[in-house]
Structure 1
């Protein structure tokens, strides 16, 4: 059995490995739909993971939605990757360099030789 402890202190038991999305769904359909990511662990050891992340041992888990402080950062990070993908589709010879999330959004630098 795997025990997942939620931020309110309650625990959910699962027969085997479970994804963040499956934990969210076990709590409610609304949370499952709103889930953007999960925070596994506590304190300095906590890490933000995708909803497809498999929890394979007892763990603390917080489901991240757009209402959480980390939610906006997750959205910005994902959007930055989507931008890079779109640019590479449109301009295959473009080189993706750096694209961090910043305080007020995100940016991506590309290297592209103009004809």
Structure 2
């Protein structure tokens, strides 16, 4: 029966293990829609993480610095997958998030850009 303590000092008790997303939805539908991840006892976890014991929880949304980093990281992976789909010979190398976005380096020959007929 986990007791979840929130940043404002309030707490919620759940009868069974509960995911970060379920907790957010219990607080409010808007927060549930905005939830990207959680911070459980200081450790960043994804929204599907199951809380099984008492903890301190901070819900991460796009308004948090960590949330923006999560979005950028996910977008970088999506872009890499799209490039690999379009150019299978492309090598996915480094693709970090940076202060104002993200990037990926893709070593690719000029031939890869030529249209096959």
- TM-score of the aligned structures, taking structure 1 as reference length: 0.86
The runs of 5 or more residues in structure 2 that have no matched partner are 112-117
2:20 is aligned with 1:24? no
Alignment of 1:60-71 (within 5 A): 60-71=56-67
Give the alignment's Cα RMSD to 1 decimal. 1.4
2:29 is aligned with 1:33? no
Query: 1:93, CA displacement in angstroms?
Result: 2.1
State how far apart, in whole Å, the 2-side matches of 1:16 and 1:85 are: 37
Query: 1:29, CA displacement in angstroms?
Result: 0.5
Query: 1:102, CA displacement in angstroms?
Result: 0.9
State how far apart, in whole Å, the 2-side matches of 1:91 and 1:14 are: 48
Show the counterpart of 2:68: 72
2:55 is aligned with 1:59? yes
Which runs of 4 or more aligned residues in structure 1 lie more than 6 Å from their structure 2 counterparts after TM superposition? none
State how far apart, in whole Å, the 1-side matches of 2:85 and 2:17 are: 36
2:101 is aligned with 1:101? no
Query: 1:91, CA displacement in angstroms?
Result: 1.6
Query: 1:51, CA displacement in angstroms?
Result: 1.0
Q: How many pairs were matched up?
A: 111
Answer 1 or 2: which has greater strand percent: 1
Show the counterpart of 1:85: 81
* Rg larger for: 2
- TM-score of the aligned structures, taking structure 2 as reference length: 0.85
